[in-house]
Amino acid sequence: MANEPSWEDLFKPQPDEQGAPQQPAPVPAQQYPSQPTPTAQYPVSEASVPSQQAGASDDPFGELFGPADPAPTAAPLSRRELRETEGRRRPSSGGGSSGGGRGGDSTGPGYPKPRKKRNLLWLKITLPIVIILGGIGGAAAFAWFNYEDQVRELLGWELPNDYEGTGNGEEVIVTIQSGDIGADVANTLHQAGVTMTFDAVYDILLEDDSIGFLPGNWRLQKEMSAQSAIAALQDPANKVTNQLLITEGAVLPDVLEIIAETTGIPLADVQAAAANPQAYGVPAEAPSLEGYLFPATYQLEGTETAQQILQLLVDTMFEHLDAFGVAPDQRHQVLTMASIIQREAGWNIDDFYKVSRVFQNRLEQGINLESDATVAYGTGNLHTVWTTDAERADASNPYNTYANPGLPIGPIGLPGDDAISAALNPADGPWLFFVPINLATGETVFSETVDEHQAAVDQLLAWCDASAENAAYCE
């Protein structure tokens, strides 16, 4: 329509005096914890990565310990077909040492004749020892910095990976989503500070596949042993019923289930209450309440109906959008973009603004977004971003940003303040691609060219191969 604001008008950075994107001041609203569920799968783009055989490594410890941790580089936005990619390049690492010596001869008039024999004998004895010790030290340093975990295991010096006891008294609420698998639960507990490591929980779950988890909010403590944390999640007494915790990036079906599990309202009643999104004041083009429920912690009295709870969550989202200066007729576009950023950017807040820039650059240049997260959402696979060739080619999927230009028809999850801010204030940059190279930390590489992108894909593949723990994120 002629009077409808363009994408460039709605989403462009507001530079400050130094030229950096101006980010809105924090919204004075309810505090909400950031406990994102890891997006463990990142397929690569349709342009397949060429198969490359690794050359002989100059790493003398490579065959003893396996590959050293890869150094970060780059990869593409589309994240497609990692599973099918056969070319895996293992980065080689090398070490070097340097040494130097200093000698002098003080012969000349007025000086006694030097005792050359004794000096040479000293050198013959000492220099080889210095060289040997220096070589050993350099090799040991190289091995330690590149293979610390393996060296510790070999020498029996492993660091503890688990706390002892049932916690330090500091309460924390964690959310178990419907469909969470063992790796998801292990990561949630670790990210919340409940357990010391991912492995501490994951190893227990691997040994006992009878352990299951019910969705909902659970009251735990920080610094719990893995065993005590798992036990606490099995105890109904720890289930939270007076606080409704909705996490950023959660999808609508899971949120409805969390509401039912927290309040005791039958799930069918909650789903029925959400069936008419326009009843809560959302725009007519919104296909559902997806994206319109603000993620936060809500104190409940226990007397609320499903309709009242949903209205509270929608009203809170509108309050936050108003605080950002988003006009009512812009809400749907903003929330759609913010939800994709929330899903694609992991939990590194700085990356939110870069991901936003990648998507805006693509829109401005007429390039399809090619987000596997949107495609997967449209297929009903809400907890993965892995997609198939057929799914990416299906233009009948209104969320398919490979086959269809522009934004999908609606949000693909619940964005928080950071994602909304990023949608409105993208960083400055020329990037067209991005990919995470460490799925545990969310470390992401942004690049301009397909070649840079493909190089980064190799880094991600190497990371996935580096350990069983890493592989759990890549399955």
Domains and CATH numbers, the chain: 8-24+39-45+326-474 (no CATH), 171-323 (3.30.1490.480)
Q: Which residue, among 421, 176, 398, 392, has the nearest Cα to 288 in the 3D structure?
A: 398
Burial (CB count within 10 angstroms: exposed 0-12, middle 13-18, buried 19+), residue 42: buried
| CA–CA dist 474, 463 (Å, integer) | 9
Structure tokens at 251: 């999808």
| CA–CA dist 19, 16 (Å, integer) | 5
- The DSSP secondary-structure symbol of 48 reads P
Containing 444, the helix (H) or strand (E) segment is strand 443-447
What is the reported pLDDT for 335? 98
Rg of the chain, C-alpha, whole Å: 28
| CA–CA dist 112, 95 (Å, integer) | 45
Tell me which of 130 and 462 has the higher pLDDT. 462
Q: For 3-22, what is each residue's pLDDT tens digit?
A: 445 555 555 444 444 444 44
| CA–CA dist 123, 267 (Å, integer) | 84
| CA–CA dist 5, 326 (Å, integer) | 12
Is the pLDDT at 28 greater than 90, yes or no? no
With bands split at pLDDT 50, 70 and 90, how would you rate the model's confidence at 385?
confident
What is the reported pLDDT for 23? 44
Q: What percent of the chain is modeled with pLDDT above 90?
A: 52
Q: Which residue, among 295, 250, 431, has the nearest Cα to 444 in the 3D structure?
A: 431
Are the C-beta atoms of residues 375 and 402 closer than 8 Å to each other?
yes
DSSP assignment of 425-439 = SPPP----EEEEEET
| CA–CA dist 408, 397 (Å, integer) | 9
Neighbours of 26 (CB within 10 A): 10
Integer CA distances (angstroms), 391 to 114, 262, 402, in order: 85, 35, 9
Neighbours of 158 (CB within 10 A): 10
Inter-axis angle of helices 198-207 and 182-191, nearest 10? 150
Are the C-beta atoms of residues 374 and 340 closer than 8 Å to each other?
yes
| CA–CA dist 299, 127 (Å, integer) | 73
With bands split at pLDDT 50, 70 and 90, how would you rate the model's confidence at 288?
very high
Structure tokens at 57: 């490594």
> Cα-flanking dihedrals φ and ψ of residue 158, to 5°?
-60, 140
pTM passes above 0.85 = no
Is the pLDDT at 257 greater than 90, yes or no? yes
What is the reported pLDDT for 15? 46
Average pLDDT over residues 273-298: 97
Is the pLDDT at 92 greater than 50, yes or no? no
Q: For 206-250, what is each residue's pLDDT tens digit?
A: 999 899 898 888 999 999 999 999 999 999 899 887 889 999 999
Are the C-beta atoms of residues 170 and 233 closer than 8 Å to each other?
no
Max mean pLDDT among 177-191, 226-240, 311-325, 372-386 falls in 311-325
Is the pLDDT at 108 greater than 60, yes or no? no
Q: Which residue, among 374, 439, 441, 434, has the nearest Cα to 405 in the 3D structure?
A: 374
Q: Which residue, among 77, 76, 59, has the nearest Cα to 68 in the 3D structure?
A: 59
Q: What is the largest CA-CA distance in the chain?
A: 107
| CA–CA dist 386, 375 (Å, integer) | 9
What is the reported pLDDT for 214? 86
With bands split at pLDDT 50, 70 and 90, how would you rate the model's confidence at 33?
very low
Q: Which residue, among 48, 88, 96, 53, has the nearest Cα to 70 in the 3D structure?
A: 88
* Average predicted confidence (pLDDT) for the chain: 77
For residue 152, the one-letter residue type is: R
Are the C-beta atoms of residues 435 and 76 closer than 8 Å to each other?
yes
Structure tokens at 113: 């004749």
Neighbours of 202 (CB within 10 A): 22
